[in-house]
């Protein structure tokens, strides 16, 4: 069984110069954790969801 993480805008905060969403993407096990990229929340946080998806398409089996 795996986990699918659905983001909100809070994951796109920067703490100590690091984007929290990058920590999630880089520090979770890709064999057990996938990500559902919520385009609306990413946009609300000021990010280009297309760029996020193009940078790392593998962890996103679905988008909303």
pTM for the predicted model, two decimal places:
0.80
Residue 57 pLDDT: 65
Distance between CA atoms of 4 and 36, rounded to whole angstroms? 6
Q: Residue range 36-64: average pLDDT?
A: 84
For residue 21, the enclosing domain spans: 1-36
Structural domain tally of the chain?
Answer: 1
The sheet carrying 62-63 orders its strands as 3-6, 33-37, 62-63
60 within 8 A of 36, measured Cβ to Cβ: yes
Residue 16 in domain: yes
Q: Is residue 23 very low, low, confident or very high in pLDDT (cuts 50, 70, 90)?
A: very high
Residue 53 in domain: no
Q: pLDDT at residue 7 above 90?
A: yes
Q: pLDDT at residue 11 above 70?
A: yes
**Residue 5 CB-density burial (10 A; 0-12 exposed, 13-18 middle, 19+ buried):** middle
């Amino acid at each position: 069984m795996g986990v699918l993480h659905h983001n909100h805008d809070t994951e796109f905060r920067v703490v100590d110069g690091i984007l929290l969403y990058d920590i999630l993407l880089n520090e979770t096990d890709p064999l057990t954790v996938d990500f559902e990229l919520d385009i609306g929340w990413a946009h609300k946080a000021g990010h280009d969801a297309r760029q996020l998806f193009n940078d790392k398409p593998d962890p996103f089996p679905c988008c909303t």
